[in-house]
């Protein structure tokens, strides 16, 4: 039986075998693996319109787009019945999102960089209203983000938008 010292002598360092430094080889291998992993995709507020097709593929849903002159509304319907609407400005930025379905969406993916702002505003609101009921609607109105979410088991809906990105002539009530 071979002891540990003899096993090391017989083992082959694959990186050395192909002429690559083992540290650099490990970093290269890790980077390749990270690139090969599928990334979850949801259009996030402030993102570009190109993410709509990625969302459709991820949700395995059908896409319907409606041009309303001042914005384009992309509606993705998943096989589960969940509907996500992404509102894109003429400049190509996602300025608003709306959702409805049996389950609430992953808000961190949906809000992207605005998620932290929403969490902070929600904590400030709930600390100011200690008696807030668990199922009460969520209303966040800050200068950089407006979000409303309500619902109950098997029936959730809401909307979020960035006031600064809403095109001229579009009302906040259009984001639904």
Q: What is the mean pLDDT of residues 19-26?
A: 52
Q: How confident is the model at residue 24 (pLDDT cuts 50, 70, 90)?
A: low
Reference 117, options 86, 87, 142, 96; nearest CA is 142
Q: Where are the domains of the chain?
A: 4-36, 51-174
Does residue 45 carry a pLDDT above 60? yes
- Evaluate whether 97 touches 149 at the Cβ level (below 8 Å): no
Is the pLDDT at 39 greater than 50, yes or no?
Answer: no
Neighbour tally for 150: CB within 10 Å = 14
* Residue 42 CB neighbours (<10 A): 24
């Amino acid at each position: 039986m071979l002891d540990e010292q003899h096993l090391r002598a017989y083992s082959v360092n694959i990186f050395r075998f192909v002429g690559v430094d083992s540290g650099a080889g490990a970093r290269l291998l890790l980077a390749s693996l990270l690139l090969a992993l599928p990334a979850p995709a949801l259009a996030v507020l402030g993102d570009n319109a190109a993410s709509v097709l990625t969302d459709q593929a991820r949700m395995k849903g059908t896409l319907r787009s409606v041009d309303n002159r001042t914005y384009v509304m992309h509606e993705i319907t998943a096989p589960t019945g969940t509907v996500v609407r992404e509102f894109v400005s003429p400049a190509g930025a996602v300025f608003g999102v709306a959702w409805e379905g049996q389950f609430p969406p992953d808000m961190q993916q949906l809000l992207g960089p605005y998620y932290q702002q929403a969490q902070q505003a929600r904590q400030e609101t709930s600390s100011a209203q200690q008696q807030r009921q668990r199922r009460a609607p969520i209303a966040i109105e800050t200068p950089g983000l407006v979000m409303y979410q309500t619902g109950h088991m098997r029936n959730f809906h809401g909307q979020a938008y960035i006031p600064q990105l809403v095109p001229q002539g579009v009302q906040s009530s259009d984001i639904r």
